[in-house]
Amino acid sequence: MMDKTITFHDHNPRIESLQEAVIKGLSKEFKSIAPKYFYDERGSQLFAEICEQPEYYPPYIERTILSGSVDEILYLTGTERITFEPGAGEATKIRLLLDALKPSAYLPMDISCEYLKQAAAEIVDEFPWLPVHAVCVDFTHSIPIPNTAPEGNRLAFFPGSSIGNFTPNEALNFLSMVRSTIGQGGMLLIGVDTKKEPAILHAAYNDAAGVTAKFNLNLIHRIRNETGVDCDPENFEHQAFYNADLGRVEMHLISRCEQTLHLNGHRFQLHEGETLHTENSYKYSPDEFIRLAERAGLQPIRHWLDDEKLFAVYLLQA
Ligand SMILES: C[S@@+](CC[C@H](N)C(=O)[O-])C[C@H]1O[C@@H](n2cnc3c(N)ncnc32)[C@H](O)[C@@H]1O
């Protein structure tokens, strides 16, 4: 019987509260709120459900690419790297790599703390030889790695095309932060959605079962329950479309009627048809993404695409 190692570190990602984000976001001329606020426990569950929808192709294709490339990845990275995963969620994809890459430790990181704890506990049950240190953190603020973890021997894993939720400038800053976290010789394995036929993207973000719509609308439930804003989810509608000029899928919540919301003495007027912008998902061709990575000081080692070029996985080195 092996000793299991699991620790939990709370970096209190709630510092920038939902209430502050709502006041800031609703005060803007074009109302918006960052996608990280989707992820309370219910939001994380709904995201896991989205990943099972037939139209939402990225998880299936990314898993297929990872499983098919694991030997090559192993050859290029070697074993026993300290491996950390910002925004790990259910930590499903790392499972495809653990037996081969044999990290010396795995650090899943997420803003959704309860969900993270469950995911970490399941990983430790499945891989009892692996020390797991779960870190509850907002990865836009920091990526805390213990100083004792040797630089150059670190591997960052960032699947799910979460990089697409940043604007290209924010993505550059995030990649630069990852670069300085992994240190010279450190590596990043990252999944990035490609540019493609808009109809495929439209279907992916408007699944027939309406799960993405529920995920988007859960933000209104969350705002109502956690901040006391008098918003009614029935008064909002999910919208997602591909903005070809900016190369991104946009998600919005559209106000179905003229409405006034109140929070701590603030009044917010929403006109019928006005939108609350909740998420961007930028798509990158391999050339575009490699240029971005290089600007952040990350050199491309190899990348893999599926036959239809719907999704890409890149191995980069600092
Ligand atoms: C799109 S999901 C991807 C999950 C997983 N990496 C995958 O590929 O299936 C994004 C994950 O990142 C987490 N997340 C989003 N914004 C975050 C932030 N700023 N800091 C930490 N975690 C964040 C969410 O809670 C969620 O688990």
Question: Each residue of 128-141: pLDDT tens digit?
Answer: 999 999 999 999 98
Lowest mean pLDDT among 10-19, 75-84, 101-110, 245-254: 10-19
pLDDT one-digit tens code per residue, 69-81: 999 999 999 999 9
Tell me if 248 sits within 8 A of 281, measured CB to CB.
yes
Task: Using alpha carbons, select from 122, 84, 123 the residue that is nearest to residue 104.
Answer: 84
Q: Is 79 helix (H, G, I), strand (E, B) or coil?
A: coil
Cα→Cα distances 153→69, 71, 199, Å: 20, 19, 42
- pLDDT at residue 303 greater than cutoff 60: yes
Of all atoms in ligand 1, which is nearest to the CA of residue 92? 9
Ligand 1: residue whose CA is nearest its atom 17? 36
Task: Using alpha carbons, select from 119, 107, 96, 95 the residue that is nearest to residue 45.
Answer: 119
What does the pLDDT read at residue 12? 77
pLDDT one-digit tens code per residue, 198-213: 999 999 999 999 999 9
Which residue has 């190369």 as its token pair?
A: 247
Q: What is the DSSP string of 273-311?
A: T-EEEEEEEE---HHHHHHHHHHTT-EEEEEEE-TT--E
Q: Is 10 helix (H, G, I), strand (E, B) or coil?
A: strand
What does the pLDDT read at residue 16? 61
With the most atoms of ligand 1 within 8 angstroms of its CB, the residue from 107, 139, 158 to mutate is 139
The neighbour count for residue 40, using CB atoms within 10 Å, is: 21
- pLDDT at residue 116 greater than cutoff 70: yes
- Say how many Å lie between the CA of residue 111 and the centre of ligand 1: 7
Q: Which contacts (CB < 8 Å, 24+ apart) does range 301-307 have?
A: 301/76, 301/187, 302/72, 302/76, 304/65, 304/68, 304/69, 304/72, 305/65, 305/194, 306/61, 306/64, 306/65
Ligand 1: residue whose CA is nearest its atom 8? 160
139 in contact with ligand 1, CB cutoff 6 A: yes
For the chain, the structural domain boundaries read 18-50+198-282, 56-195+283-317
Q: How far apart are CA 20 and CA 104, in angstroms?
A: 39
pLDDT one-digit tens code per residue, 276-293: 999 999 999 999 999 999
Q: How far apart are CA 299 and CA 305, in angstroms?
A: 18
What does the pLDDT read at residue 1? 52
47 in contact with ligand 1, CB cutoff 6 A: yes
Is the sign of the CA dihedral 203, 254, 191, 128 positive or negative?
A: negative
Out of 3.40.50.300, 3.40.50.2300, 3.40.950.10, 3.40.50.150, the CATH code matching 56-195+283-317 is 3.40.50.150
- Say how many Å lie between the CA of residue 110 and the centre of ligand 1: 6
158 in contact with ligand 1, CB cutoff 6 A: no
